[in-house]
Chains A and B, each alone.
Chain A
């Protein structure tokens, strides 16, 4: 299977090595005969489409799953990994996409949880904080170790997890899509940390759907397709093109260019919206057929505006008009009646019922349509329509009865998209719709969004992904600290000034004047 002999890549002996790993879930083989070496001071990137088996490899290394076949070696000795505690003992640390920290404990406590330094039988807070500070500054990270973790952004939480792993003397660091939920600017910080770790001799496994990251960060790259290793090579020998070709098995589709859509009447008019504690004076107009991008750093207030429009959070002030009439949106039901759909940013917490099958998840908002007398659900029609949408979104699954928590992350995201397209909204708010989605599926989602706009749907696209926003949006509103601080049209947008406006280095939002951002 492999295109290049592994041994030729590096003479350093691997710290951890997988040989011939096979993993089945029931009759479905999700990994077939996987070889993978993680070497000291090197980053091994793992690429593949949604459902290719990347996270399954991560879970095998983290002791969550046991392989059905194949061997794991640590420094030449065969080992087994049963459970997270054993992985830790073998010096393997796994950073999941959603950091697993205790939200109410401080940064220092999280780093040392369960093994706090003690003096005279009591926790030595001073020593704990000092050690935590030292560890963080070793990575040149500046975080107040006394803050509770829930006050930190996702990027900072990831850093805390990395520090925690280091303090456990991890020699292998596994990162499953660490950059999918953070901005590209924050990702740059993460890469600096990775660089430091490499110098300290840590072996790193890195997963991402951003091909440029795969190639830039990785020393070695392994590409999976349908659970098989297609290629392992040094990053220098791969190009963006060839990587994608290996991933999808054919020449990649170009990123879908947005088709010009006729922009019609204003559908949504928002005036002076304020709420959620920090969102102030947000005003914009959204027209039929128009895609408006919301850009900004994590925590800039974009999701809060979306949630106020969808009736999740009641706004403190401001007016929302839909089709010219004043709209009173007090619950998601009200919003759905006005034809609004919101694809929320957190698919596990807000988006999906993980214990439900694909079918029941997808139809949850529109179950009313399949009910007959007494509220009985017409299961046949429900299954039919859910099946249609799952196919359209190219969800990879054993069928629509597969539980959503047994789907790969990207396929969960596709189910979420299907769920919110099903109500046939006229106003579609997409909060990070391509998070965790592979290149091919991303192009497909862009195509769908563009098509919907062409049919006259009014679309809000919230994304941290600059190419996402610049490729799709007709207009871009930049948010910072709960306000709109800048507006760009498709013609005038340039990446640099967009990012500058969003960052704290840009002009102060208040100084920018109340007129800023008004359409």
Chain B
């Protein structure tokens, strides 16, 4: 237990070192980096990703994934745009977009929890489906006459300070999600589901309902992100937030959440979000193109997965065995898991609810 604790502490401490390294790198790239306005912009521009990552953390902890987040954000943004075009006040459009996000998440959740399809496949499907809906709704148009006060959600800062309003929204949500994951019964249930779904079910945890709830939550968070992002960009288009899922999943995995489920902390994810935000910001300042930035993000994702994969390999004394354990079909459920090292494949982070 102590070793595991230390390991976790090490990973989060390491992330902090990365963050400082990023700051040093950014300062080296441009004198402009260390200005309040740059920090403020870098933060504000990353808040949509950060908000979606909160729900994604919970989903990945249970061993599922939601690839469709970028498309849900796009769909919600399109919904905001259409409402505005039709003359609906933005104050009414926002709740409507939340409902749309929740419904999109509900669609994913029903397919995963009740139809029993793998979330990866379902959400790849809805990635295309929801983006398609956004395109039907908004076509090639861009809607941009949002009221001033609304734009402030994404771009404005609190009072005279350089702190963006969107970061306040994120901070409140992040605290809520962290408390839920680490201190409540529901959070404990998510770790149980991620580590051993069958034992969770045998313990009276409503696994299906839980998963459904998570995907709906993810949809709602996407729509909050859509509100923030549309306000930040001051325009809504059907291709809003395309490719968002890459950044979100990269941040969650970099934060130390096991991509196979069962472990990880919210603190790690939050630090990782800031690392990514400032890496992208400094690359931007250095004149690196968005395409190259995307390559860098993909690289970070693969590298992190490799590091954790290697760590798991070392811990388990043999990758084949660990893999076999996870992928084992139900048929053996009453016959015992294939063992041999199973008992000591201590998983880092686990039990840190």
Nearest-Cβ distance from residue B108 to partner chain A, whole angstroms: 23
Q: B195-209 interface mask toward A, CB cutoff 8 Å, 1 = contact, 0 = none?
A: 110111111111000
Which chain B residues (1-28) contact chain A, with CB distance < 8 Å?
Answer: 1-4
> In this complex, what residue of B is CB-closest to A379?
B183
Whether A375 lies near B195 (C-beta < 8 A) is: no
Q: Assuming A102-B324, A346-B333, A353-B196, is B185 touching A84 (CB within 8 A)?
A: no
Residues of A within 8 A of B191 (CB): 353, 356
Residues of B within 8 A of A352 (CB): 196, 199
Residues of A within 8 A of B324 (CB): 100, 102
Which chain B residues (144-200) contact chain A, with CB distance < 8 Å?
Answer: 179-180, 183-186, 188-189, 191-192, 195-196, 198-200
Nearest-Cβ distance from residue B8 to partner chain A, whole angstroms: 13
Whether A377 lies near B340 (C-beta < 8 A) is: no
Nearest-Cβ distance from residue B195 to partner chain A, whole angstroms: 5
Residues of A within 8 A of B202 (CB): 310, 312, 332, 342, 344, 350-351
Assess whether A154 is interfacial by the CB under 8 Å rule: yes
Whether A377 lies near B183 (C-beta < 8 A) is: yes
Nearest-Cβ distance from residue A30 to partner chain B, whole angstroms: 12
Residues of A within 8 A of B343 (CB): 55, 354, 405-406
Q: How many pairs of A and B residues are in contact by the CB < 8 Å rule?
A: 169
Residues of A within 8 A of B204 (CB): 331-333, 335-336, 365
Whether B196 lies near A103 (C-beta < 8 A) is: no
Whether A355 lies near B337 (C-beta < 8 A) is: no
Which listed residue (B186, B203, B338, B350) contacts A403, Cβ 8 A? B350
The distance in angstroms between the C-alpha atoms of A348 and B195, with both chains bound, is 11
The distance in angstroms between the C-alpha atoms of A83 and B189, with both chains bound, is 35
Whether B188 lies near A367 (C-beta < 8 A) is: yes
Whether B263 lies near A355 (C-beta < 8 A) is: yes
The distance in angstroms between the C-alpha atoms of A222 and B313, with both chains bound, is 34
Q: A412-437 interface mask toward B, CB cutoff 8 Å, 1 = contact, 0 = none?
A: 00000001000000000000000000
Assess whether B87 is interfacial by the CB under 8 Å rule: no
Whether A349 lies near B341 (C-beta < 8 A) is: no
Whether B198 lies near A350 (C-beta < 8 A) is: yes
Nearest-Cβ distance from residue B327 to partner chain A, whole angstroms: 10
Residues of A within 8 A of B201 (CB): 312, 332
The distance in angstroms between the C-alpha atoms of A100 and B202, with both chains bound, is 23
The distance in angstroms between the C-alpha atoms of A90 and B303, with both chains bound, is 37
**Number of A residues with CB within 8 Å of any CB on chain B:** 62
| Range for the number of chain B residues in contact with chain A | 35 or more
Q: Known contacts A99-B338, A355-B263, A405-B346; can you find 8 more A-B pairs with CB under 8 A?
A: A55-B343, A332-B201, A336-B204, A365-B203, A398-B1, A405-B343, A406-B343, A419-B203
Assess whether B318 is interfacial by the CB under 8 Å rule: yes
Residues of B within 8 A of A344 (CB): 202
> In this complex, what residue of B is CB-closest to A65?
B344
Assess whether A101 is interfacial by the CB under 8 Å rule: yes
Q: A313-336 interface mask toward B, CB cutoff 8 Å, 1 = contact, 0 = none?
A: 000000000000000000111011
Q: Assuming A98-B337, A100-B321, A348-B342, is B203 touching A364 (CB within 8 A)?
A: yes
Which listed residue (A157, A332, A355, A402) contacts B347, Cβ 8 A? A355
Which listed residue (B4, B184, B195, B338) contacts A98, Cβ 8 A? B338
Nearest-Cβ distance from residue A203 to partner chain B, whole angstroms: 20
Whether B329 lies near A331 (C-beta < 8 A) is: no
Assess whether B351 is interfacial by the CB under 8 Å rule: yes
Nearest-Cβ distance from residue A462 to partner chain B, whole angstroms: 12
Nearest-Cβ distance from residue B182 to partner chain A, whole angstroms: 10
The distance in angstroms between the C-alpha atoms of A428 and B3, with both chains bound, is 37
The distance in angstroms between the C-alpha atoms of A153 and B188, with both chains bound, is 34
Residues of B within 8 A of A333 (CB): 204, 206
Whether B339 lies near A355 (C-beta < 8 A) is: no
Assess whether A360 is interfacial by the CB under 8 Å rule: yes
> In this complex, what residue of A is CB-closest to B208?
A331
Which listed residue (B198, B317, B344, B350) contacts A83, Cβ 8 A? B317
Assess whether B115 is interfacial by the CB under 8 Å rule: no
